[in-house]
């Protein structure tokens, strides 16, 4: 669809919607008027809604391309890579031991929105289709992003599609396979471990060299105003995939909450346009060892900072909450949940055994459901040798009240954000030098480079059969001994 079909009319401050700016050139460092040294406020895109946007919907069960939604998006001036239209698949909540979370009489069916099936295998493709479009429209000399994974890969891919140079500033801990993935698109990848130094470099490339920044430039995350608009299309797709029904609950892995807020804004628009008669409740899922959004809700303040404790969910390990996240939970009457590392590892295993290989952060939604299930059952803690696995799950509602008896309204949709490849290892435990199956002892890896390596086995059939028999559930009994 022609970018001119966009109804985007400008940007406005999330601190005060009466503070407005032109749509272009895009302001990429938050709202200049409302931001302070303590809190920087994001901008969002405003639209001149008319009467015909409702006609974009009414395609129950279909998965239109992202361009279909052009009137409700910023001008998409970067060619598509086929992003969006990801599948929505079912499995039962009982398999996750959280069927009791469902409101009375609700069917215990979970829908899984698999964003790993986007072109670069993550939800970030939707965001970067929008942000790189801004770079194209402003004749930028290139695109720059600070990222440790998904965002960098998507930025590099869409910059390549647009014919623009790309610089990705990452950290040395970013898995080598992911760094190679980003480089494959022609991006220049540099490992700069200090977060502030990465941000300063983004600023210099932006201000001195004409690059367009597609990642946040502020201490409190503000991001790119056009980016979360791409995530609205997840809400539009869910409405169609559920046969023109709004889900009761949407469960979202959450870091700086661009995804959370974008999905919420999409459902808000559906209601405002008269397409839907309600909006869902959102559940933000964070690593419990940090969980800044939980802390912000408890304090009744949009911004809270927490210690940088280690977590396997490296893509969503924020230490500061965001204005977008706070707004989305408050406005949707939702809740935020902090899961344990044990919940996270178990969730990734469960999803893989059901056919979905998600990176650890991508499995955070299922981990959050498991944490809510533990709260419902009154479990106070987990027992684990690793202290990161110990401690209670926590959940906080929109008013800042601890949630002790969570209940979810169906249909329940969990968003899975990205492929397990992005972890740089097969399973969470592999990166620590051992692999732990649920309910099993740790199994040493045969490789010390962060990737699981299959154990070497003698070439004789008895040795192969014996090695197979060591795995529970494989029907490989010793027929020669019978």
pLDDT in tens, 170-187: 999 888 889 999 999 999
Question: Positive or negative CA dihedral for 61, 64, 70, 71?
Answer: negative
Q: What is the pLDDT of residue 433?
A: 42
**E strand or H helix that includes residue 266:** helix 258-272
pLDDT at 437 over 90: no
Task: Round to whole Å and give the CA distance between 422 and 148.
Answer: 10
Residue 350 tokens, joined: 């469960």
The band of 55, judged by pLDDT with boundaries at 50, 70 and 90, is confident
The residue that leads in pLDDT, 205 or 456, is 205
Average pLDDT over the chain reads 89
Q: What phi, psi does 292 have (nearest 5°)?
A: -65, -30
- For the chain, the first-to-last Cα distance in angstroms comes to 68
Report the chain's C-alpha Rg in angstroms. Answer: 22
pLDDT at 418 over 80: yes
Residue 77 tokens, joined: 């001036």
Coil, strand, or helix at residue 410? coil
Q: 């008319």: which residue's tokens? A: 50
Q: What is the pLDDT of residue 189?
A: 96
Angle at 72 between CA 149 and CA 84, to 5 degrees: 40
Virtual CA dihedral for 416, 73, 227, 274, nearest 10 degrees? -60
Q: What is the pLDDT of residue 54?
A: 73
The band of 478, judged by pLDDT with boundaries at 50, 70 and 90, is confident
Q: How many CB atoms lie within 10 A of CB 301?
A: 13
- Of 344-348, 417-421, 435-439, least confident by mean pLDDT is 435-439
The pLDDT > 90 percentage for the chain reads: 72
pLDDT at 439 over 50: no
Query: CA dist 395 to 159, 191, 294, 365, 398, Å?
Result: 39, 35, 7, 13, 10
pLDDT at 324 over 80: yes
pLDDT at 442 over 50: no
pLDDT at 293 over 70: yes
pLDDT at 63 over 90: no
Q: How many CB atoms lie within 10 A of CB 190?
A: 12
SS (H, E, C) 188-220: EEEECCCHHHHHHHHHHHHHHHCEEECCCCCCC
Residue 167 near residue 135, CB atoms below 8 Å: no
Nearest to 19 by CA among 11, 29, 27: 11
192: exposed, middle or buried (C-beta count within 10 Å: 0-12, 13-18, 19+)? middle
Nearest to 284 by CA among 236, 325, 230: 325
The residue that leads in pLDDT, 450 or 410, is 410
- Kind of pairing between the strands at 412-416 and 249-253: parallel
Query: CA dist 248 to 3, 106, 114, 279, 444, Å?
Result: 33, 10, 18, 8, 43
Q: Mean pLDDT over residues 27-37, rounded?
A: 97
Q: Mean pLDDT over residues 84-107, rounded?
A: 79
pLDDT at 391 over 50: yes
The residue that leads in pLDDT, 448 or 329, is 329
Q: What is the pLDDT of residue 423?
A: 81
DSSP 270-285: HHHTTS-S--PEEEEE
Half-sphere exposure of 262 (CA within 13 A, CB side): 29
pLDDT at 432 over 50: no
- Of 84-93, 196-205, 235-244, least confident by mean pLDDT is 84-93
Q: Give 88-119+226-423's CATH code, choosing from 3.40.50.1100, 3.40.630.30, 3.40.190.10, 3.90.1150.10.
A: 3.40.50.1100
Which residues in the chain are classed under CATH 3.40.50.1100? 88-119+226-423
Q: How many CB atoms lie within 10 A of CB 442?
A: 13
Residue 421 near residue 176, CB atoms below 8 Å: no
Angle at 157 between CA 24 and CA 21, to 5 degrees: 15
Task: Round to whole Å and give the CA distance between 428 and 438.
Answer: 12
């Amino acid at each position: 669809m022609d970018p001119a079909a966009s109804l985007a009319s400008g940007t406005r401050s999330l601190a005060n919607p009466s503070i407005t700016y032109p749509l272009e050139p895009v302001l990429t460092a938050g709202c200049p008027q409302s931001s302070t040294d303590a809190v920087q406020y994001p901008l969002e895109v405003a639209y001149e809604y008319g009467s015909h946007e409702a006609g974009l919907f009414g395609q129950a069960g279909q998965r239109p391309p992202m361009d279909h939604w052009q009137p409700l998006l910023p001008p998409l001036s970067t060619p598509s890579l086929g992003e969006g239209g990801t599948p929505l698949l079912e499995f039962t909540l009982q398999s996750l031991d959280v069927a009791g979370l469902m409101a009375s009489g609700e069917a215990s069916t979970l829908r899984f929105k698999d964003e790993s099936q986007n072109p670069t295998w993550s939800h970030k493709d939707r965001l970067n289709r929008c942000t790189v479009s801004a770079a194209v429209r402003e004749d930028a000399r290139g695109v720059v992003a600070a990222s440790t994974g998904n965002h960098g890969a998507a930025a590099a891919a869409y910059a390549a599609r647009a014919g623009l140079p790309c610089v990705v500033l990452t950290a040395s801990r970013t898995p080598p396979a992911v760094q190679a993935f980003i480089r494959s698109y022609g991006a220049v990848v540099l490992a700069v471990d200090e977060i502030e130094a990465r941000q300063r470099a983004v600023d210099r490339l932006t201000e001195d060299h004409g690059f367009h920044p597609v990642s946040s430039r502020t201490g409190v995350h503000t991001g790119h105003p056009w980016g979360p608009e791409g995530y609205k299309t997840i809400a539009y797709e869910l409405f169609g995939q559920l046969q023109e029904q709004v889900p009761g609950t949407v469960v979202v892995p959450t870091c700086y909450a661009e995804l959370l807020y974008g999905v919420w804004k999409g459902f808000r628009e559906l209601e405002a346009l008269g397409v839907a008669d309600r909006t869902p409740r959102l559940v933000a899922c964070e690593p419990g060892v940090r969980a800044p959004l939980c802390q912000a809700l408890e304090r009744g303040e949009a911004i809270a900072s927490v210690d940088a404790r280690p977590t396997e969910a490296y893509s969503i390990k924020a230490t500061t909450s965001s204005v977008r996240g706070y707004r989305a939970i408050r406005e949707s009457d939702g809740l935020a949940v902090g899961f344990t590392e044990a919940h996270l590892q178990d969730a990734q295993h469960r999803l893989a055994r059901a056919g979905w290989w998600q990176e650890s952060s991508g499995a955070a939604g299922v981990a959050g459901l498991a944490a809510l299930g533990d709260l419902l059952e009154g479990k106070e803690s987990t027992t684990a040798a690793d202290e990161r696995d110990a401690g209670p799950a926590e959940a906080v509602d929109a008013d800042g009240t601890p949630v002790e008896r969570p209940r979810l309204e169906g249909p329940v949709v969990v968003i899975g954000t990205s492929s397990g490849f992005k972890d740089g290892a097969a399973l969470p435990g592999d990166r620590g030098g051992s692999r732990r199956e649920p309910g099993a002892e740790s199994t040493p890896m045969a490789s010390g480079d962060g990737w699981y390596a299959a154990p070497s086995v003698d070439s004789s059939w008895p040795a192969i059969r014996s090695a197979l028999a060591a795995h529970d559930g494989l029907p490989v009994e010793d027929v020669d001994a019978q």
